[in-house]
Amino acid sequence: MARKYVRWRTGLSYDKTKLLSCGDWSKALSLTDWRYHIALAKAQAYGYSAKTDLFLERLSRVPLLRRLLLAIAPSHLIVAEKRADNARLSL
């Protein structure tokens, strides 16, 4: 099933597809000049209750627990923004 989906979405063979971990994404994005944030996907998207999301959100406020949760989570949300090239405001 994954092979057909990847072929449909990218036109490439699944053999050339590499799934990246949170750590891999952090390393790759740190080599760019982009600002980025990696967050846990909402548990509700996987059929869990809103209470689970609230619990995970509270846990993720503790830096060490956040890193642990990101390491074991099945999926992540990544938001990245390219920094402006020496943008100057003209008044």
For the stretch 11-64, pLDDT in tens is 888 887 777 888 898 899 999 988 888 888 888 988 999 999 999 999 999 999
Residue 4 resides in a domain:
no
Residue 11's Cβ-count burial label (10 Å; 0-12, 13-18, 19+) is exposed
Q: Is residue 90 part of a domain?
A: no
Residue 53 CB burial class (10 angstroms; 0-12, 13-18, ≥19): middle
Query: Beta strand pairing status for 34-40 and 76-82?
Result: antiparallel
Residue 59 lies in a domain: yes
Residue 42 lies in domain: 19-82
Biggest CA pair distance of the chain: 55
C-alpha to C-alpha distance for 88 and 91, rounded to whole angstroms? 10
Q: Name the amino acid, one letter, at 61.
A: R
13 assigned to some structural domain? no
What is the structure's pLDDT at 91?
43
The answer to the question of residue 27 being in a domain is yes
Give per-residue pLDDT as tens, 54-91.
Answer: 999 999 999 999 889 888 887 788 888 887 765 554 44
* Total tally of structural domains belonging to the chain: 1
Whether residue 28 is contained in a domain is answered as yes
